[in-house]
Chains A and B, each alone.
Chain A
Amino acid sequence: MKLQSALLMIVAVVLTLSVGLANAQEMTKEQWQQEINKYTQMRNDLQAKVKILGDGNNALTAQSTKLDADCEKCMDDLYALVGSDRQKAAAYSSEVEAAEAKAADLMRLSDADLMARSSEVTDLENKVKELWGDKLSLIPEFWDRLTALDTKVKSLKETLAKQVKVYTVGTWSKDRDCLWNISKKPDIYDNAWLWPRIWQGNRDQIKDPDIIHTGQMLKIPQGKEMTGEETAAAKKYYRKVAAKAAAAAEAAAATAPAAAPAPAPKPAEPKK
């Protein structure tokens, strides 16, 4: 009997709890209304915010477009100050960029390789000078880039200066100095055929390899291998000499057929 009562009690409690739980999960109308009010308020606030943000963004877009136009006009005015325009400035910028690439390329070389390509340092120096000659160089962007290039060229030249041996040309009567003979000296190259190295390393002071002057300070590039450029210069020189000799021989044959052939030209006798 007691067991029956206990079971009945358990069933009653379970039933009561289930009803209570069901009531707790279900939304009442009041709660629904509260939710509706809350979300309606949120929606209204968000709609207002969307409108404000949209209008603000439209204004910012317009401001951005105006700034674009202002910047372009300012740049045009800037180029006009130095008598240039955007196209010329773009071309100039490309030239500066090429010089920068060349400088970076040369800076990466070992000292020996740099010596072999010393003429490129001279070319680069001339190119930078040429770029400075353009009024566009007055624009700070280019000014700064060219200043940086100057520093690099200076550094390259310093490296070259440390590598270069200098030879002072003596007299022909006493020293028999010509490029061929200088190159042949044991303390220079010990190889007469390397004379174009001296010529190419001193293009700034030797225009014609057959003419050097007493007292000239010739830079002696390091290394005993000719670069492609030096070889090409030598070939060009030999062709020119051969053509000259042929012309002289023809002329001599025309005037005095019985005369002896003209002597071969002697390279680079120093002029007093």
Chain B
Amino acid sequence: MLKCTRTVITMGMVLLCSGSLFLYGCSSSPDEEQLKALQALKDETSQLEKQVKDLEAKKSELDKTIAEKNAKLAKCNADQEIVKQRLAK
């Protein structure tokens, strides 16, 4: 009985080990070239993200500048009207 149990345990272990090794050996993984291509793509994406961030910052700055210039122009036009009124008096 004891001998039988030991044999079953040993066989079980052998099956477990061989099954794991089989699974590991059968799964396919990308080669080095493919991994490099993926990394290059990631780098390019990262650079583009930075570029987008810079462009958005520039856009925000330009929007602000334009708003200031529009206000300046509006004030200048209003000033012209006031001067005309004062000259008419």
**Which of B45, B65, B77 is packed against the most chain A CB atoms within 10 Å?**
B45
B27, A26: Cβ atoms under 8 Å?
yes
B69, A67: Cβ atoms under 8 Å?
yes
**Which of A47, A68, A140 is packed against the most chain B CB atoms within 10 Å?**
A140
B29, A74: Cβ atoms under 8 Å?
no
A-B contact pairs, 20 of them (CB 8 A): A15-B16, A15-B17, A16-B16, A16-B17, A16-B20, A22-B24, A28-B27, A29-B28, A29-B34, A39-B45, A40-B41, A46-B51, A50-B48, A53-B52, A64-B65, A64-B69, A67-B73, A74-B77, A139-B79, A140-B83
A75 in the interface (beta carbon within 8 A)? yes
A140, B79: Cβ atoms under 8 Å?
yes
Among A35, A50, A74, the residue within 8 A (CB) of B51 is: A50
Is the interface on chain A under 10, 10 to 19, 20 to 34, or 35 or more residues?
35 or more
List 15 additional contacts besides A12-B13, A71-B72, A71-B73; criterion CB under 8 Å: A15-B17, A23-B23, A27-B35, A29-B34, A32-B29, A36-B41, A39-B41, A43-B48, A49-B52, A53-B52, A56-B59, A57-B58, A57-B62, A75-B76, A140-B79
Given contacts A78-B83, A81-B84, contact A29 B29 (CB under 8 A): yes
Q: Which B residues lie within 8 Å of A54 (CB)?
A: 55
In B19-50, the 8 Å CB interface with A consists of 20-21, 23-24, 27-30, 34-35, 37-38, 41-42, 44-45, 48-49
A64, B73: Cβ atoms under 8 Å?
no
B83, A5: Cβ atoms under 8 Å?
no
- What is the bound-complex CA distance between A241 and B52, given in angstroms? 84
Q: Which B residues lie within 8 Å of A47 (CB)?
A: 48
In A67-122, the 8 Å CB interface with B consists of 67-68, 70-71, 74-75, 77-78, 81-82
A32, B38: Cβ atoms under 8 Å?
yes
- What is the bound-complex CA distance between A8 and B51, given in angstroms? 58
B52, A46: Cβ atoms under 8 Å?
yes
A259 in the interface (beta carbon within 8 A)? no
Q: Nearest residue in B to A51 (C-beta to C-beta)?
A: B55
Q: List the interface of chain B (C-beta within 8 A of A).
A: 2, 6, 9-10, 13, 16-17, 20-21, 23-24, 27-30, 34-35, 37-38, 41-42, 44-45, 48-49, 51-52, 55-56, 58-59, 62-63, 65-66, 69-70, 72-73, 76-77, 79-80, 82-84, 86-87
B20, A8: Cβ atoms under 8 Å?
no
A60 in the interface (beta carbon within 8 A)? yes
A42 in the interface (beta carbon within 8 A)? yes
- What is the bound-complex CA distance between A140 and B78, given in angstroms? 9
Q: List the interface of chain A (C-beta within 8 A of B).
A: 1, 5, 8-9, 11-12, 15-16, 19-20, 22-23, 26-29, 32, 35-36, 39-40, 42-43, 46-47, 49-50, 53-54, 56-57, 60-61, 63-64, 67-68, 70-71, 74-75, 77-78, 81-82, 135, 138-141
